[in-house]
């Protein structure tokens, strides 16, 4: 039997676990899965260790039982507004007399790019190498090429050490070690786009329950990632407050009648709250539901547009916007995304060859995590195991 990897997402709406077995040529060999309601998590961060742990452990147990095998290593996603990121450029003058780039020049440029120290309570989650530039020209591998100034940029993702440590302890409580921590945006991005999409340039937006994660790819590399603390739960809350209905009904009104924009045809139409007039049902205005939803969706895309200012030129984003996460099922979301960000948008296609139940945008992150786990870090450019290793080394004190 080959190694069994567990992909674990401690989500705001659900704890999701996929088990996969490493087999050559099969990037998504799912052998078991468990998904269970989430408690104790808000906006992607733990707010109640005990109840969140219980739910995560149940989900892992379900996945192991369905597979009939035990997990050996965990790939864990991390999200929340504690995640930060920055782009750091390193450069080196080519040292040889004949202007040919040698290993030492490359090492100096990389070292400079990674020099930035974080504050004490922050750790690096990823160092993502972007293309080298030699005298301003992009090159894949600068070794042995002629030039005088070598530059390399890194998009680094950092997070709050305590928040990440708490997540690791949840997994340790089941008797498992976390091998790799991966930002949710990068996990979703990996599964929502193809290598060709990333090469052409793409923006992946994972509209989850508590938060929205995004990653922007340029020239095949993740050039920016981020988390906006607005998700589907906010739409539900707004409906609940605005229409004075409880959360459970608000959630089903959103799924049945919600839309990301509001049109004239919505005037005057009323919908039933419960669908059963005999038991004192109430009717509510469909327009009111859609207005509430549209306002929050507009706010989300306004924040995205501000955070991505300067990154959205269509020339660099040939593959456009790929929407995923449960919130991407909201009707009209692609139209709103497209007009707010000025790029073509579509719902991401998830890979075929997996059971239909998992071909759901809510599973994008765990599918991406499993893909990372089963293909091995070396092949999943741009995420470098070094950055993750270093982050974990600090956490585990190794
Ligand atoms: N058909 C739908 N229309 C609108 N929102 C939906 C729909 N289906 C699911 N959602 C929303 O998607 C969110 C769950 O997405 P998910 O990606 O699983 O979140 P997370 O990973 O943060 O737990 C919830 O807020 C849910 O209401
Ligand atoms: Mg998610």
> For 66-89, what is each residue's pLDDT tens digit?
999 999 999 999 999 999 999 999
Pocket test for ligand 1, best of 232, 325, 363 (most atoms within 8 A of CB): 232
The pLDDT assigned to 394 comes to 43
pLDDT computed for residue 266 by the predictor: 66
Which of 188, 210, 235 lies closest to 349, judged by CA? 188
Six token digits for residue 224: 């920016």
What are the pLDDT digits (tens) for 184-199?
Answer: 999 999 999 999 999 9
> What does each C-alpha distance from 318 to 206, 343, 345, 347 come to in angstroms?
19, 9, 11, 16
Q: How far is the CA of 11 from the centre of ligand 2 (A)?
A: 6
Among 9, 13, 293, residue to substitute to test ligand 1 (most atoms within 8 Å of Cβ): 13
Please give the CATH architecture assigned to the domain spanning 232-299.
Alpha-Beta Complex (3.90)
Q: In 3D, which of 225, 187, 186, 204 has the Cα closest to residue 8?
A: 187
Give me the pLDDT at residue 386, please. Answer: 37
Tens digit of each residue's pLDDT (9 = 90 or more) over 27-72:
788 999 999 999 999 988 899 999 999 999 999 999 999 999 999 9
Query: With a 6 A CB cut-off, is 362 part of the ligand 1 pocket?
Result: yes
**Ligand 1 within 6 A of 80 CB?**
no
Task: Indicate the domain borders of the chain.
Answer: 84-157, 232-299
Residue-level pLDDT at 277:
63
Distance 208 CA to ligand 1 centre (A): 6
Question: Cα of 105 to ligand 2 centre, how many Å?
Answer: 40
Residue 14 near ligand 1, beta carbon < 6 Å: yes
Rounded Cα distance, 302 and 207, in Å: 14
323 lines ligand 1 (CB under 6 A): no
pLDDT at 23 (0 to 100): 80
Q: Is the pLDDT of residue 375 over 70?
A: yes
Tens digits of residue pLDDT in 103-137: 999 999 999 998 888 888 999 999 999 999 999 99
255 lines ligand 1 (CB under 6 A): yes
222 has pLDDT over 90: yes
| CB 330 less than 6 A from any atom of ligand 1 | yes
CATH T-level assignment (fold) for domain 84-157: Dna Ligase; domain 1 (3.30.1490)
Beta strand spans in the chain (E) = 4-10, 14-21, 30-37, 41-42, 45-46, 73-78, 84-93, 122-134, 137-139, 149-160, 178-183, 202-207, 212-218, 221-228, 270-272, 283-285, 321-324, 345-347
- Identical fold between 84-157 and 232-299: no
CA 145 to ligand 1 centroid distance, Å: 49
**Ligand 2 centroid, distance to 109 Cα (angstroms):** 35
pLDDT at 1 over 50: yes
Nearest atom, ligand 1, residue 184 CA: 21
Identify which has the larger pLDDT, 389 or 99: 99
């Amino acid at each position: 039997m080959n190694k069994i990897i567990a992909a674990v997402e401690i989500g705001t709406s659900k704890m999701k676990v996929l088990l996969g077995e490493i087999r050559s040529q099969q990037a998504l060999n799912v052998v078991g899965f468990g998904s269970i309601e989430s408690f104790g998590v808000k906006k992607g961060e733990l707010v109640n260790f005990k109840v969140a742990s219980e739910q995560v452990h149940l989900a892992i147990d379900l996945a192991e039982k369905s597979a009939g095998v035990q997990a050996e290593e965990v790939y864990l996603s991390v999200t929340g507004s504690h995640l930060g990121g920055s782009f750091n450029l390193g450069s080196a003058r080519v040292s040889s007399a004949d202007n040919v780039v040698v290993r030492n020049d490359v090492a100096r440029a990389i070292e400079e790019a990674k020099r930035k120290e974080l504050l004490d309570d922050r750790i690096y989650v990823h160092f993502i190498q972007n293309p080298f530039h030699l005298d301003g020209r992009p090159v894949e591998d600068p070794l042995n090429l002629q030039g005088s100034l070598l530059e390399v940029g890194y998009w680094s993702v950092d997070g709050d050490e305590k928040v990440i440590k708490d997540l690791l302890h949840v997994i340790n409580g089941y008797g498992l070690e976390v091998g790799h921590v991966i930002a949710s945006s990068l996990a979703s991005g990996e599964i929502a786009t193809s290598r060709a999409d990333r090469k052409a340039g793409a923006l992946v937006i994972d509209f989850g329950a508590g938060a929205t994660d995004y990653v922007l790819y340029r020239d095949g590399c993740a050039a920016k990632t981020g988390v906006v603390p607005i998700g589907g739960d906010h739409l539900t809350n707004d409906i609940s407050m605005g229409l004075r209905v409880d959360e459970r009904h608000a959630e089903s009104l959103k799924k049945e009648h919600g839309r990301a924009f509001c049109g004239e045809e919505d005037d005057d139409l009323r919908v039933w709250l419960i669908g059963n007039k005999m038991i004192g049902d109430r009717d509510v205005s469909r327009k009111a539901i859609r207005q509430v939803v549209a306002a929050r969706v507009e706010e989300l895309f306004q924040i995205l547009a501000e955070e991505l200012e300067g990154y959205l030129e269509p020339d660099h984003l040939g593959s456009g916007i790929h929407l995923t996460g449960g919130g991407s099922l909201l009707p009209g979301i692609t139209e709103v995304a497209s007009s707010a960000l000025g790029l073509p948008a579509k719902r991401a296609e998830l890979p075929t060859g997996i059971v239909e139940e998992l071909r759901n945008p809510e599973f994008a992150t765990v599918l991406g995590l499993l893909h990372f786990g089963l293909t091995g870090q070396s092949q999943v450019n741009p995420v470098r195991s070094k950055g993750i290793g270093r982050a974990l080394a600090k956490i585990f004190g190794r």
